[in-house]
């Protein structure tokens, strides 16, 4: 994420959680980023950052956790692909202008095709790294 220009709140991580500052990295609220990523098949959750100007409801960050993916065998290459997908979605997300002419804090637009393309890429990653290898569901 950092090599793609995303500001991480702690400039990295020492554990399984990563907090992205989407306000300074993409001009989005955490709520917009969380929703755009979810619409694209990537589950995160909005999270406040220190001295968050957007408060606890809209937030300025999103948090990602790695355990769900490491339990599927994801390594550095797969996480690099996840970062690429996330950044692609967030770069193509734009806040909807509110009635007062300011960028809104909840609604957003996403460039056509981005969500479907990202969902397909995420499905490929998950299919290549099944939760229980050898178990046919």
The pLDDT of residue 134 is 79
Domain of 97?
2-128
In a domain, 20, yes or no: yes
Instruction: Check whether 137 has a pLDDT greater than 70.
Output: no
Helix (H, G, I), strand (E, B), or coil: what is residue 80? helix
Please tell me the total count of domains within the chain. Answer: 1
In a domain, 44, yes or no: yes
In a domain, 133, yes or no: no
In a domain, 50, yes or no: yes
CA angle 64, 67, 73 (to 5 degrees): 120
Distance of CA 119 to the CA centre of its chain: 13
Q: Report yes or no: 61 and 19 within 8 Å, Cβ to Cβ.
A: yes
In a domain, 136, yes or no: no
Provide the token pair at 137.
Answer: 């569901």
Which tens digit of pLDDT belongs to each residue from 64-97? 998 989 999 999 999 999 999 999 999 999 999 9
When computed from its CA atoms, the radius of gyration of the chain, rounded to whole angstroms, is: 15
The CATH number assigned to the domain holding 33 equals: 3.90.1150.10
Q: How confident is residue 132, by pLDDT bands cut at 50, 70 and 90?
A: confident
Instruction: Check whether 6 has a pLDDT greater than 90.
Output: yes
In a domain, 135, yes or no: no
């Amino acid at each position: 994420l950092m090599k793609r220009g995303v500001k991480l709140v702690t400039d990295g991580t020492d554990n399984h959680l990563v907090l992205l500052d989407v306000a300074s990295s993409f001009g989005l609220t955490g709520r917009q980023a969380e929703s755009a990523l979810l619409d694209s098949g990537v589950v995160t959750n909005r999270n406040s950052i220190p001295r968050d100007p957007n408060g606890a409801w809209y937030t300025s960050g999103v948090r990602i956790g790695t355990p769900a993916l490491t339990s599927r065998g994801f390594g550095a290459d797969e996480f690099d692909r996840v970062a690429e997908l996330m950044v692609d979605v967030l770069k193509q997300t734009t806040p909807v202008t509110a009635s007062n002419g300011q960028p809104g804090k909840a609604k957003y637009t996403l460039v056509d095709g981005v969500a479907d393309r990202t969902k397909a890429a995420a499905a490929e990653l998950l299919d290549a790294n099944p939760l229980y290898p050898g178990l046919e569901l």
